[in-house]
Structures are given as C-alpha cells and as structure tokens.
Amino acid sequence: MTENELYSAGPARAAQVRKDREEMWTLILVRELRHPPEKVWQALTDPAHLREWAPFVTDGNLGAVGTVKLTWVGTPTPLETKITRADPPRLLEYNDTRWELEDFGGGTRLTLWHTIDRRFISWGAAGWHIAFDVLDHLLSGTPISGMVGPGLMKSKDWQRLVGEYAKQFQS
C-alpha cells in the first residue's frame, strides 16, 4: 500500500476567520510540526519543495524580497507575486499570504494567514489542512504525491473537511 492509500485526513482543526472587507476574509490556520523552523522555511520557499506539497508552483525561490511567478494548481495563468517580507526562518509574506514560524517544543508552530473570498473560505481551509498534512509527510521523509488541485476536490477527505470547516465558521 502506498502512502497516498494510507493517508486519511484528521478532523478539522481549530481555525479562525477575520472579515477584512465585504467579500474578502482572512483564514488563519495553525499547525504544530515536529521539524525545526529552518527545515520548514526551506519547504515554504524552495520551488522544488513547494512542488511536492503546496497548491501552487513558482518559478523562483520565495525566500527573499522580490518578484516570482506563482501558478495555482488547476489554473493556467501565472500570477506575478511580490514577496514583501522574507525574514528567514521566521516570517514570509507575499500577495495575500503570510507565514509565521515559531520555535515550539523542539519543532515549529506554523501559522498561515491567507486572504480569500468568503465564498471559498471552507474550501481554502480544507485545502490548506491537507497541504499541511502533505508538508508534514514530506518533512518526515514519507512524501505523499498528487494531493493538490482539482483531483483533490473529489476526495472524501476534502469534501468532509469542507463541511467541518463550514460548521466552524458559522459559529
């Protein structure tokens, strides 16, 4: 049995949303990883690592202030992406995304702030939830492939998580 076949997403975790503007909200997700911030930072910034877990690919490293092209999986058009803050291995900001890494119990507390259209907030939470699981597997040396994009949206895990996060955000 492959890692993909063994993978099963856990329940939705505590997530937060903040209403920024009428249609745009900020999704805030926190995940505690068993890996040091430097290792997590590399996975957040290096194009080869991003290709293995993130729902996008880039044509350059995200680890320094500058511009890269970022292409979300399932979309044909790259977006010019301006990296506005890169303080390794603690803080990374680009476009509508902010990552914060903190030392935590020998590992890293990873916090994501992602501004997203409110209509898709539970979709985004479910997608990032699974992406964080895939990231953790990658960092642990047991990579899971093919867990992003339109194919993921057909999975039972993603559909279940969308419902669970939607309930969280209604309260």
Convert the pLDDT of each residue in 53-109 to its tens digit: 999 999 999 999 999 999 998 889 999 999 999 999 999 999 999 999 999 999 999
Task: Tokens 């994501």: give the residue.
Answer: 112
**pTM listed for this prediction:** 0.91
Check residue 138 and give its pLDDT: 94
Task: Give residue 131's pLDDT.
Answer: 94
- Please report, for the domain that includes residue 151, its CATH number: 3.30.530.20
pLDDT tops 90 at residue 170? no
* Residues 126-144, mean pLDDT to the nearest whole number: 93
Residue 3 located in a structural domain: no
Provide the token pair at 84: 């506005």
Among the listed residues 117, 121, 110, the one whose alpha carbon sits nearest the alpha carbon of residue 53: 110
Contact by Cβ (8 Å): 40, 103 = no
Q: Would you say residue 22 lies in a domain? A: yes
Is residue 33 within 8 A of residue 110, CB to CB? The reply is: yes
In a domain, 125, yes or no: yes
In a domain, 121, yes or no: yes
Range of the domain at 101: 13-170
- Determine the distance from the C-alpha atom of residue 86 to the mean position of all C-alpha atoms in its chain, rounded to a whole number: 17
- Our count of domains for the chain comes to 1
- 4 belongs to a structural domain: no
Q: Which residue in 57, 29, 41, 42 sits closest to 133, CA to CA?
A: 29
- Dihedral sign (CA 51, 54, 58, 64): negative
Residues in the chain: 171
Domain-located, residue 8 = no
- Residue 7 included in any domain: no
Kind of pairing between the strands at 97-104 and 91-94 = antiparallel
Nearest by Cα to 64 from 41, 88, 39, 33: 88
